Amino acid sequence: MADVIKLLPEHVANQIAAGEVIQRPASVVKELLENAVDAGSKSIILHIKDGGRTLIQVIDDGAGMSETDARMSWERHATSKIASADDLFKLNTKGFRGEALASIAAIAHTEMRTRRHTDEVATQIMIEGSEVKSVEAVNANAGTCITVKNLFYNVPARRQFLKSNPVETKYIIDEFLRVALPHPDIAFEFYNNGNDIFKLKSGSMEQRILEIFADKKQDEILYVEETTSVASIKGFVGVPQIAKKTRGEQYLFVNNRFFRDGYLNHAISSAYKELIPKDVFPFYIFFFSVRPESIDVNVHPQKTEIKFEDERIIYQFLHAVARKALGDHIQVPEADFNMAAFTVKPGVYATQPRIDLNTGFNPFVGSGSGQTQARKANSDWKKIFDGDVKGSFSERYEAEQTNLKAEFVGDIKHDTRIKKESPSIDSIWQVNKKYIMAQTGEELYIIDQEKAHERILYEKYLRSINGQQIATQERLFPQLVDLQPTDFVIVHDLLPHLALMGFDLAVFGKNSLIINGVPAGIKNANEKLLIEGMVDDFKQTQTQAKGDRFDILARSIARKTGVKQGDELSQTEITNLFEELFQCENPYFDISGKRTLKILSSSDLEKLFI
């Protein structure tokens, strides 16, 4: 029998390795930005087009490279960051494996121009699919410029699984912020399809945060700083009032390296216990400074997972710091943004504790030892942060609706009274500003006004996609809405959908919209909160299920603009709601699958008094 094991060609091995390191355009952005930071740059510029599919370009004014180093940098496992395995535990740089450039070159058309400050000419290298096409001397500024075009051009299977341009752009913005936040001493610029998204000047950490999170106010962000012999922590936590339904504004950094850790996220979120609802997430940015040898960053190719020497102590420390900041907020609610600028620098560690700790304090509320509670927290955090939902949204929704429908039909004993046309009303009235009671012959209809109106609006918005455009109610005074760049990208992509639903929105400058009109029939609505809430719902739902964007919008807007419990309705509004409900495709269930009404016959009423 012939031998079957063969050594893969280098270009095939590079493509396989690229699948681990480069998962989407945002992965390329992350690697190039981190290399620019490691090069000692003072200014970094990022350009992208079409969500990174067509173009990704990073320009820096860092150290640059010689011709030999420039050519070597594209080889696998070629790096200037480490020389031995022991160096993995002394890292002060973001990159160290030497895989990123080789992985990028394997799946894209790439070009590098680089020049050291002491050299007179630069080196230009052109590579396509790991094959070097040309190397020549050119004129260029000191530093490095890397251009990546046609990402995944030779891996069509990977390219077709990329999301829409706005979604990929959002991922890129996330990676950009994860590099820009811990480095306020570096100026960053970000351009998307020629439009500037960020122009961040070098300065203090406070200035950087206010530039990025322009929608936050000074009295909404609390500064924290504590030091022990284990670690030092500096950062900011948001007051409970600015918590959102999505996790996008939560950042953890260790030695200026962004990382994800559900266990430590739980340490902070649990500090907000009973301060915010369970389905919203607080704003926070924390910078750890620890000894490099006490962590392991060589866990995953994306380098966003980190192993701590004693994660339990870090958990307790982080929870106590967050809880203390929130407790102090009662007396001192404002963050001092006039304080001296700080920078978390790797290699600078505290040797003496400065935090006053209550030795009887247990950061885990409840009885039992600290170790027992820590083990319990360690087992419970995944339930909160994994977001693992069995089955797709549509499958769960259909199953729930089927069960509820069976229950509903059972309640009314499969009565033939279930019909689509509106029953003839003898009398109708509102009860406790929550329910509508309608007598139709010998039957009594009890309707939940909030659930019923949500169903009416939901189907109304869905019909607009089929040409039944909803009329627009123009506002007397147009309202300006400033959005975070990631949110603006989402809304900008949804403008055609929103126009069909009756919204009159126009782009106004950078990351801003003018609201000129809203769907007719909406009353007493804060248009700004409506748009912001809609974006939050859209981001949250997109992470949970691959639902149709129009359906997601229809659900969100129906919930936010419908009649609520406690709203007093006129007699005309009551009658219209009743009649419009029975014109719906599914009048008996709301958009969550819960029943909208109950029908009682004369015999049903008589049984109540037996």
User: Side chain identity at 243, as an amino acid letter?
Assistant: A
- Which stretches within 161-283 are classed as H helix? 165-180, 205-212, 262-269
pLDDT band at 299 (very low <50, low <70, confident <90, very high): low
Helix (H) or strand (E) holding 495: helix 485-500
**Three-state secondary-structure class, residue 505:** strand
- 475 against 173, higher pLDDT: 173
- Average pLDDT over the chain reads 79
For residue 533, what are its two tokens? Answer: 């809430």
**Of the given ranges (102-106, 137-141, 284-288, 386-390), which has the lowest mean pLDDT?**
386-390
Q: Provide the CB-side half-sphere exposure for 184 (13 A, CA).
A: 16
446 burial class (0-12, 13-18, 19+ CB within 10 angstroms)?
middle
Query: Is the predicted pLDDT of residue 128 greater than 50, yes or no?
Result: yes
- Domains of the chain from N-terminus onward: 10-200 (3.30.565.10), 205-385 (3.30.230.10), 399-602 (3.30.1370.100)
For the CA atoms of 600, 601, 603, 607, the dihedral, rounded to the nearest 10 degrees, stands at: 10
* Rounded CA separation 113/358 (Å): 57
pLDDT band at 202 (very low <50, low <70, confident <90, very high): very high
**Which pLDDT score is estimated for 409?**
43
Q: How far is CA 436 from CA 342, 419, 588, in A?
A: 60, 19, 14
Q: Are the C-beta atoms of residues 90 and 26 closer than 8 Å to each other?
A: no
pLDDT band at 391 (very low <50, low <70, confident <90, very high): very low
**Of the given ranges (191-195, 257-261, 371-375), which has the lowest mean pLDDT?**
371-375
pLDDT tens sequence across 424-465: 888 999 999 999 999 988 899 999 999 999 999 999 988 887
Q: Are the C-beta atoms of residues 314 and 291 closer than 8 Å to each other?
A: no
Q: Are the C-beta atoms of residues 537 and 245 closer than 8 Å to each other?
A: yes
* pTM of the full structure: 0.69
Which of 465, 168, 178 shows the shortest CA–CA distance to 303? 178
**Which pLDDT score is estimated for 62?**
95
Enumerate helices (H) and strands (E) in the chain, giving the number of each.
Answer: 17, 22
User: Side chain identity at 101, as an amino acid letter?
Assistant: L
Helix (H) or strand (E) holding 112: strand 109-115
Which of 169, 162, 151, 178 shows the shortest CA–CA distance to 18? 151
